[in-house]
Amino acid sequence: MHTFLSANNLADLTGTSIATAHKWGENGIYPYHKNEKGQEGFYMEELTDVEPVRMMLRTRWEDELHVAPLRDFTSVELFAGAGGLALGMHMAGFRHVLLNEIDAMACQTLRRNHPEWNVLEGDIHNIDFTPLRGHVDFLSGGFPCQAFSYAGKKGGLNDTRGTLFFELARAVKEIQPKVFMGENVKGLLSHDNGRTLQIIRNAIAELGYTLIEPRVLKAIMYQVPQKRERLILIAIRNDIAGHVQFKWPDPYRRVMTLRDAFFCGELFENDVPKSEGQQYPPKKARVMAMVPEGGDWRDLPEKEQKDYMGGSYYLGGGKTGMARRLAMDEPSLTLTCAPAQKQTERCHPTETRPLTVREYARIQTFPDDWLFEGNMTEQYKQIGNAVPVNLAFAIGRSLIRLFNDIDAQMPEESHWEEANKIAQGMLPPKLFEINMFAVKEEYPEKIVCNQYAKKNRVNISKLDYTKNVLICLVPDKYIVPYTNRDAKVYFTGKKFPSTVALNKLYYFMPYTKGKGIRDLYQIKVARIAPKHEFVTDADENDLRLAFEIEYIAQLHDDYKPIRLNIWRTFTDTKLRNVLDL
């Protein structure tokens, strides 16, 4: 039985153009065939002198699936996102000690799917990793690649200062794992004529690690139905590097397609579940309906091409991402953070609509029970930014094999329990919502927050900078009274953090989205009230906290940007902190 490989896929595997792959067939360099669906292509078994194909034909993928850790190997992941890399490494056998991510919704996604993981939400610049030194085997992270300054003379670690690679390197320096891995876009190889990568190489050497020669892995070779390429950097601590050898993962035996992603088969045990997804506006839907499967704007009638492309029609270049419809029997193009952007269209192969959230997730090989937090736009973004799970799983198995070899040469006990305990100590106190019904039962009428304010207006010259001030996000639709400084009440959302000490609140400052804080109010009392009291069409049983407030003064000449800490919605602090006293 022959394994069919389309000309498109051969081009992707070899890094050549589709035109070149077709010429190989037309000129008889490799036997050309048509499959039962009329696709032109090749049989893999007749391409044994093509290196990527030969690797797939001789793969030990099935053997590698049986690689298992000899003990609990501990790991830390940075820039964890929605968990593509973390899940793949977990499936391979790593025990995550700590995961760091700055995006609140991505952190919620990680916590929802693995409540036992220690997810440290926040800016990596503010984290001290030294408590974990000597307790972590492996560190990984897909660091965003900003331009380096090239300010130094050595071209090493100092030249990466100010970039997120520097923060990954700092974590390595503080933790001293046996092995660490960084992943990035393929373009890092050639960025600034290779100078950026050379600085990274020098920085890794400065840290005391031996870098395995970096490799670009094509996701389509690792059971991922997507043409995505990632540069993988793996470095072994110098005291270990001379005793072991890392072997890259073997590829899967064939290229997976959207048909594999969307329907029951080798990749998934059932068809893709229904889910929400973006929709095209009527004008765009009419245009996209004319594009054939696997086609793009060039397949439209000339008048439609000009209308759709506008000025871009007269510019050079293929612009093949525009008005692009995917093909069911090909892998997806690389997913972006949104499926309906004009420059990077990802239209469903047979239906005139963008891909849904779950279709997006399947193309990234997330399991169907991996759920994403946030609104639809945030979910697309999390999925589009992720490392494909099956690619991470394949790399993870190779790393577990490496750690087994290290442990065979230098055996030691697992640090899992101790490392987990240390990591938990690095996390802020766990937050939970205040139970409004319980508060109402405890305070039947109201919670007095500022007894002095009930009788006397606070004088601006007599502000007490030691008192607590509650800063709260005010949604745009409710902002007008606060802008006019005549707001009399603020009611919270359904979720209100348990860490706010209600009976200590004294002042209130509204936070305007995109601007920050400016005006100071005094809190008179807090009480439980139904949202219906403020929004007439709301449920009468929907209880909220309501703060009765009164304007005092403008504290800043203009709005002052700040970062809301608790769920990105509230901050409970001292007035002196707001004024930087």
Helix then strand then coil, in percent of the chain rounded to 5, is: 35, 20, 45
Q: Which of 267, 269, 262 lies closest to 252 in space, CA to CA? A: 267
Residue with tokens 């968990």: 83
For residue 479, the tally of other CB atoms under 10 A from its CB is 17
Report d(CA 83, CA 373) in Å as an integer.
12
Q: Are 398 and 405 in contact (CB under 8 A)?
A: no
Q: 390 with 92: CB under 8 angstroms? A: no
Tell me how far apart the alpha carbons of residues 518 and 502 are, in angstroms, rounded to a whole number: 22
DSSP 32: -
- How far apart are the C-alpha atoms of 523 and 325, rounded to whole Å? 56
CA of residue 21 relative to chain centroid, distance: 35
User: Does the annotation count 264 as an active-site position?
Assistant: no
C-alpha 555/C-alpha 545 separation (Å) is 25
Q: φ, ψ for residue 451 (rounded to 5)?
A: -60, -35
With 0-12 / 13-18 / 19 or more C-beta atoms within 10 angstroms meaning exposed / middle / buried, residue 189 is middle
Kind and range of the H or E run holding 105: helix 104-113
Beta strands 138-141 and 226-227, pairing class? unpaired
**CA–CA–CA angle 499, 503, 509 (5° rounding):** 75
Strand intervals (E) in 104-225 = 119-121, 138-141, 179-185, 209-211, 215-218
CA–CA distance, 224 with 455 (Å, rounded to integer): 67
DSSP label at residue 500: S
HSE-up of residue 57 (Cα within 13 Å, Cβ side): 17
C-alpha dist (Å) from residue 395 to 90, 221, 581? 11, 12, 50
- Hunting for tokens 């979910």 — which residue is that? 379
Q: Cα(first)–Cα(last) distance of the chain, in Å?
A: 77
| Structure tokens that stand for 451 in this block | 């007894």
Q: Any residues with CB less than 8 A from the CB of 477 and at least 6 apart, and which?
A: none
C-beta neighbour count of 27 within 10 angstroms = 9
Catalytic one of 107, 145, 347, 472: 145
Task: Kindly list the catalytic residues.
Answer: 145
